[in-house]
Amino acid sequence: MPLVKSTFAACLIIALLLSRAAAADFRITGKEAEAIAIAVRIFKSKQGSKYEGHLVYGDLRHYTVELERTRNRLEVTFVPEQPSLKSNEAGTGGSTIHGWEVAYVFSLNPLRMVQEHYAR
Tell me what the mean pLDDT of segment 81-100 comes to. Answer: 70
Q: Is the pTM here over 0.95, yes or no? A: no
Q: Domain locations in the chain?
A: 2-119
Single-letter amino acid, residue 25? D
What is the model's pLDDT at position 1? 59
Residue 23 has pLDDT above 90, yes or no: no
Helix (H) or strand (E) holding 38: helix 30-45
Number of CB atoms found within 10 A of residue 102's CB = 25
Q: Name the residue with higher pLDDT: 52 or 93.
A: 52
What is the model's pLDDT at position 52? 86
Tell me what the mean pLDDT of segment 105-115 comes to. Answer: 96
Residue 21 has pLDDT above 80, yes or no: no
Query: SS in 3 state form for 52-116?
Result: CCEECCCCHHHEEEEEEEECCEEEEEEEECCCCCCCCCCCCCCEECCEEEEEEEEEECCEEEEEE
Half-sphere exposure of 39 (CA within 13 A, CB side): 32
